[in-house]
Amino acid sequence: MNLTDHRFPLGINTYCLRALRWTDARLLDFAASLQLDAIFLQDSLDPKAQDPAHWVEVREHAARLGLKLETGGGGILPKTAEEFPRAVATLAKNIERAKAMGSRFCRGVIASERAALPPGPIEQHMETTVRLLKAVRSRAMDAGVKVIIEVHKDLLAWELRQVVETAGQEFVGVYMDTGNPVFVLESPVHTLETLAPHICTLHLRDSVVYEHARGVAVQWVPMGEGIIDFAALLARAAVLCPQVNVFIKPITGRPPQVLPYLEAGFWKGYPDMRAGDLAKFLALARAGRPYEGHMVIEDLPGKPIPEQFLAAVQFQQKDHVERGVEYGKKTLGLGVKWRG
């Protein structure tokens, strides 16, 4: 059943297949085999990933397969003032790489999570991000590439919107990821609505959110098995940001994480949380429950996958991507090419 009359192009985000350590060419071929319209090459593990000649090869390969390609880099926020020039140089190189690969966008992430931000108030980190972005404005504009900041586990939606609009929306946009807002106590639909004028790409990941003795617990789960109302989210996206490519991006194999908002110390990191926004998130938690499906829990951030579990995690990542693509096509009505 098609739940939206608007046909978004459908793709996959390659980060979801990282345990397989495939080359960029194999990832492109895999996306084509699923009759997809697009691919987002994220955190490439290809041995030639930083070779300019390889960038051209990737662009040409994607064109032959009829895939719209998007890409970019990783973290952009320098941890110290001394690291600022290097951060500018890295972002500039990522813009160059994105252009060479035929991507209209260059992804960037401010921080892995709010707790990982350097010492200092949130406003300071927002100002540093704006200054960094403005330092590469001419490069981005000349390249015809927009720097898109991923909705991650760092800033609240209104804070990210302020960063984009202060830096300059003519060359800065938003990479909307539905899996990350729950880690900063936001409903993904609310995050999308807040950032919609600047959203350039939309990545779908499902979550469970449920009440816990210390606050709430959140966990990423396979597409369609969580609490996120993708029909409602895509209906809003069709109105507010209909130009985007939509990417399936399940990241599973990780344990639940407790967000202890009932503990006073938690709120030191959220001095400007808005009550209405929090209420929307807590409505999700009241309606949710722990995940009851089967999942291998061995994809732990910062730790290598134990050799004994590697094959299982590889199978799981590929399986969850394929199941997510099928859910995107048949349940959410996403994609164009597969319809023939």
Residue at token pair 């998007």: 70
In a domain, 216, yes or no: no
CB 68 within 8 A of CB 11: yes
Residue 125 lies in a domain: yes
- Each residue's pLDDT tens digit, 106-163: 999 999 999 999 999 999 999 999 999 999 999 999 999 999 999 999 999 999 999 9
The structure's pTM equals 0.96
Beta bridge partners of 207: 220
- Domain for residue 268, yes or no? no
In a domain? residue 275: no
* Angle at the Cα of 12 from the Cα atoms of 226 and 334, rounded to 5 degrees: 70
Is residue 262, in this structure, part of any structural domain at all?
no
Instruction: Give the model's pLDDT for residue 302.
Output: 87
Domain of 116, CATH number, reads 3.20.20.150
Would you give per-residue pLDDT tens digits along the chain (340 residues)? 345 578 999 999 999 999 999 999 999 999 999 999 999 999 999 999 999 999 999 999 999 999 999 999 999 999 999 999 999 999 999 999 999 999 999 999 999 999 999 999 999 999 999 999 999 999 999 999 999 999 999 999 999 999 999 999 999 999 999 999 999 999 999 999 999 999 999 999 999 999 999 999 999 999 999 999 999 999 999 999 999 999 999 999 999 999 999 998 999 999 999 999 999 999 999 999 999 999 999 999 889 999 999 999 999 999 999 999 999 999 999 999 999 8
- The DSSP-derived string for 283-307 is HHHHH-----S-------TTSPPPH
Q: What does the pLDDT read at residue 301? A: 86
Q: What is the pLDDT of residue 2?
A: 47
Whether 215 is in a domain gets the answer no
Domain for residue 193, yes or no?
A: yes
State which residues form the domain around 66: 10-205+228-250+316-339
| Residue 53: Cβ-neighbour burial (10 angstroms; 0-12, 13-18, 19+) | exposed
Tell how strand 68-75 and strand 172-177 pair up: unpaired
Residue 114 lies in a domain: yes
Domain count, the chain: 1
